[in-house]
Structure formats: structure tokens, C-alpha cells
Amino acid sequence: MNATESNKSNLNPHVSVDCVIFGYDSNELKVLLIERKYAEQGNGSHHNPKLDIALPGNLVRDDEDLDTSAKRILKELTGLDNIYMEQFRAFGNPNRVRKEQDAEWLKTMRTDPQARVITIAYFALVKLEDYVPRPDSFARKSEWYPIKKLPKLAFDHNEILDQALQVLKFKVTHYPLGFELLPEKFSLGQLQRLYESILGDDLDKRNFRRKMKSLKLLIPLKEKQQGVAHKPAELYMFNMKVYEQLQQGILK
Amino acid sequence: MNATESNKSNLNPHVSVDCVIFGYDSNELKVLLIERKYAEQGNGSHHNPKLDIALPGNLVRDDEDLDTSAKRILKELTGLDNIYMEQFRAFGNPNRVRKEQDAEWLKTMRTDPQARVITIAYFALVKLEDYVPRPDSFARKSEWYPIKKLPKLAFDHNEILDQALQVLKFKVTHYPLGFELLPEKFSLGQLQRLYESILGDDLDKRNFRRKMKSLKLLIPLKEKQQGVAHKPAELYMFNMKVYEQLQQGILK
């Protein structure tokens, strides 16, 4: 008996959580997705595995608060642990679980597959290399997908992912970013690539450098990159005092 | 048959919305609360009306998306319409509807009073004078309460209100504020009072003025207040270009 079966009885059929875990791999932005498997394979043989890719998510337990649910479900489906996730929005379109293949999958998984499900979505942004997903429970696979090449997802998960990306873009344009995602010493090129991978757009190199300079956010180190094939670039560190001030807002 | 009774049948017993409507009245910050009445008065005679004060909120209908629910419920309970509310957080403590008087009230209202209810909270900040609440449905009263003198509220509504206030404080410290809440021409004292009423703290007058000046957010009008009992103050307008730039973030 796996974790899903043993706890089916005390799952709340009306409320789920979904986790949008963004991972940055020094070059591009990715998101963690699972491929779901069918609990009873008998009549599911005609399903299309391409339509079974989803965000890690599941029903909450009736005795569990939402943050605890999110952590548990992410761990059960992907093995990922110790990720600080932020709740960002509830999704409640009355038809969000009614697409044909979703309904078929729900029939194999739940006692009340017709029930409307409202989902509470969480998100996080991590350094990809620190987390190696490992599928379990009803996840057949658990993999990082580039944001630029997203498949069609189950339920309303494309919409949830898109909204999470909007939140991330908003944060990038309002708050300093990079301390947890870049090496301690980094080049302006590395910093710009991080911004571009999130904003999904090329930034003008001169404008970007001028803006960063005017924020006084970076400390030039008078050191250069080592062991790179291209011309070594100057290295920088964040000025943490300015970094924190920018996080504290305009009244400071 | 009132609106509550006629629609009881298609309410989802597990999901509600609650609305935190902040109102600014040129002097202090208030919040809109209702006093709930009991559907069946027979055995509710020993309840304490002081413990029946709550945020306007109710179960969602099964065929309704969350934003529509929030608008409908606010209107049913308070008569308020045309308010743009933002979803800010879901609250899901498994015991959030289990306090004694709440359980008693739920018994008179719902077919499944034991069900766990997860609530999606919305908030808005409006100019108080533009909205006159009018109680209806299960609201016996609907009134503006000063944030500084809040009663003990039903369910976990004190926590929800507190979190909404944190969101509002965060916004005030990160984004320009006041365009919708102050008259077109205002004094620095009026602007400072607005900030103080939200932050719940006195601000140093000189620091506040210096900061506002450094943001280049205000245009001095070379005009003075008229018809005031005290010494008339200089009047200002917002520089909307700067106002919008500050809303757009640090990369602009």
C-alpha cells in the first residue's frame, strides 16, 4: 500500500494544493513537473501520456493546514524537501478539473471524481543544482522542464504556471534578486542572464549595466573570471546593505 | 425566503470567501464588519452578540468562480458594490470554524456544520465616504470599525484581518499611495496622516518630508488651504509620472 492509498480516506475532496517550483540552472529557468500514472491501469490504456503532465499537486488532508499540505505533497511526488514555498493564489474555476482526460484520471484515483476542486497554489524559486527530483506516489516521472518549451498540462495547470511566472516577473522588477541563485562572485553577464531567463526577453546590455550601477547594488571586485573559454569578465558581489534596503521599500 | 435560504442548496460546504474592506475617512483607517444574526432564533438566545462580529463572508456557490463569489457575498451582506478586491491569501487551519459560539451559529445556518471550511480572503482599500454599507441577508448590522479599536471577531477573522493589514503596510512601504484616497490637492500633513493611519505609528515629520521630497513624487502648487481653522498649509499634487514609475519597479 503506498502513501496515496493509505491516506485516501481522510483527503478533503474539495481542496487541493499545487506547487510551482522554478529552478534556475545558471542559464535558463525551468519548472518541476510530474507525469501522473493511473492507479488502475485497466481502462486507462487509451490515454495520452503527453496530456498527463502536471504540476505536483494533490488533495489536502482534512486534519492538515495548507502549508503542511504543500510540503507533504511536494515531497511525496518529487522527493523534494526543505523548500520554502509561498502561497500565491487560489484557483477556483468551477470547470477546472473537467477536461476529458483529467476526469478519466480522477475516476481511477478518487471516491468522488465529480467534486469541484479549488486549489491553493504555492511557488518557489531555487538553484536547480541543489535539488534532484525523484518520482514517487502517483508520479511516474518528475523532471525539470524549460519554461520556454512547456507542454500542455493537466487541469488548469498552464494557467497556474503562467500566473506564478507573472508573480516572479513582478518580483524581479521590484526587488533585488540573485543572492540565492548566483555564485558569490559573478559577472554582469551572469546577472543579466538570470534576469533575462525570468523576464523571457533580451535586455539591452548598456541599459541594464547603467541601471544596476545607478542602484549601487554591486561591488566591483577587481578580479576576473578564471578558466573560461571566452575573454574573462570582471567579477562582482552584491552590496548586501543596498540589497536589503531595496527590499525594504521606498520609505526607508 | 431571503437570499441565503434560496441558495443554501448549491453552496459548497468546504470553501468560503471573506472580504477585508479597509476604508479611509481622511483621518483614520477603518474596516467594514458585520454582526451576524441567527437563522433560527429558538435556541440561540444565550449567545453573546459581541462575539458575533465578523468579516463579511460566506460559502461559495458550486457554480461560481472565486472573484464572483467575493463580489456577490460582499454585496449580499453589506450592499457594497463596484469595489475592486484583490485575493491575498487562503486560510486553512483545520480548527478555524470550531470555536463554541461559531459552531452554534453554523448549526443554525448550514446542513453540514461540522465540515472543515477553507476560506479565500480578499481585500480592498477605499475612500470611506464613497461607500455607505446597508446590512442584509444574515447581517444584522454592517459598520465601519476603527482599526485601533477592533472587537474580538468570529472564526479566525482577527488573524485574517491582521494579515490583510500586513499586506497593506507592505504596499504602503513599497509603492506610492494616496491618489485614490486623498483630495486632488492635499497638504503634507494630510499625506502623512494617511501613512500613519495605515502603519499604525507616528512618523517623524522632518524625515517623512525629506523622503517624499527625495522621491520627487509631489508637485508644490504655490496654493494654500482655504477655510481651515488652523494656519493654512501649502498644497501639493502627485507627479503622476513619478507615481507610475515607482509602481513599475527598480528596473525602469
Reported as a single tens digit per residue, the pLDDT across A203-235 is 999 999 999 888 899 999 999 988 888 889 999
Specify the pLDDT at position A48.
Answer: 82
Question: Each residue of A53-100: pLDDT tens digit?
Answer: 999 999 999 999 999 999 999 999 999 999 999 999 999 999 999 888
More confident residue, B68 or B11: B68
Q: Where are the alpha helices (DSSP H) in A151-200?
A: 157-174, 188-199
Whole-structure pTM value: 0.91
Question: Per-residue pLDDT for A8 more than 80?
Answer: no
Q: Residue A23, Cβ neighbours under 10 Å: how many?
A: 23
Q: What is the CA radius of gyration of chain B?
A: 21
Distance CA A231, CA A151 (A): 37
Residues 6+ apart with CB under 8 A from A79: A132, A133, A134, A135, A136, A142
Chain B residue whose CA is closest to A64: B94
Question: Per-residue pLDDT for A184 more than 60?
Answer: yes
> For residue A29, how far is the Cα from the chain centroid?
9
Give the count of Cβ contacts less than 8 A between chain A and B.
Answer: 85
Specify the pLDDT at position A5.
Answer: 45
Of B62, B94, B173, the CB nearest to A62: B94
The helix or strand, by DSSP H or E, that contains position A67, with its residue range, turns out to be: helix A66-78
* Overall size of chain B counted in residues: 252
Residues 6+ apart with CB under 8 A from B190: B26, B182, B183
The complex's ipTM?
0.90
Q: Which of B10, B11, B14 to mutate to test the interface with A (most CBs of A within 10 A)?
A: B14
In the structure grid, which three cell numbers stand for residue A4, read together? 496515496
Distance CA A36, CA A54 (A): 7
β-pair partners for B120: B17, B90
Check if B229 contacts A (Cβ < 8 Å).
no
Grouping H, G, I as helix, E, B as strand and the rest as coil, residue B19 is strand
CB-count burial class (<10 Å; 0-12, 13-18, 19+) for A114:
exposed
Distance CA A153, CA B72 (A): 31
Check if B206 contacts A (Cβ < 8 Å).
no
Residues in B 2-41 with any Cβ partner in A closer than 8 A:
12, 14-15
Chain A residue whose CA is closest to B204: A251
More confident residue, A61 or A48: A61
Q: Over range B116-138, report the average pLDDT.
A: 96
Question: Is A116 in contact with B175 (Cβ distance < 8 A)?
Answer: no
Residues 6+ apart with CB under 8 A from A199: A169, A172, A173
Mean pLDDT (chain B, rounded)? 90
Question: Per-residue pLDDT for B36 more than 80?
Answer: yes
The helix or strand, by DSSP H or E, that contains position B75, with its residue range, turns out to be: helix B66-78
Query: What are the angstrom distances between the C-alpha of A114 and each of A13, A104, B192?
Result: 9, 10, 53
Specify the pLDDT at position A46.
Answer: 64
Q: Is residue B31 within 8 Å of B145, Cβ to Cβ?
A: yes
Which residues in chain A have their CB less than 8 angstroms from residue B14's CB? 12, 14-15
Distance CA A17, CA A33 (A): 14
Bridge pairing between strands A11-24 and A118-127: parallel
Which residues in chain B have their CB less than 8 angstroms from residue A172's CB? 251
Q: Over range B175-179, report the average pLDDT.
A: 91
Question: Per-residue pLDDT for B49 more than 90?
Answer: no
Q: Residue B146, Cβ neighbours under 10 Å: how many?
A: 13
In the structure grid, which three cell numbers stand for residue B207, read together? 524625515
Specify the pLDDT at position B249.
Answer: 82
% chain A with pLDDT above 70 = 93
Q: Over range A106-134, report the average pLDDT.
A: 91
Question: Is B173 in contact with A12 (Cβ distance < 8 A)?
Answer: no
Q: Where are the alpha helices (DSSP H) in B79-214?
A: 100-109, 157-174, 188-199, 205-214
Question: Is B15 in contact with A118 (Cβ distance < 8 A)?
Answer: yes
Residues in B 97-126 with any Cβ partner in A closer than 8 A:
116, 118, 120
Distance CA A64, CA B118 (A): 11
Separation in Å, CA of B107 to nearest CA in chain A: 20
Question: Per-residue pLDDT for B16 more than 90?
Answer: yes
Question: Each residue of B192-225: pLDDT tens digit?
Answer: 999 999 999 999 999 999 998 888 999 999 999 8
pLDDT class for B50, splitting at 50, 70, 90?
A: confident
Distance CA A64, CA B117 (A): 12
% chain A with pLDDT above 90 = 71
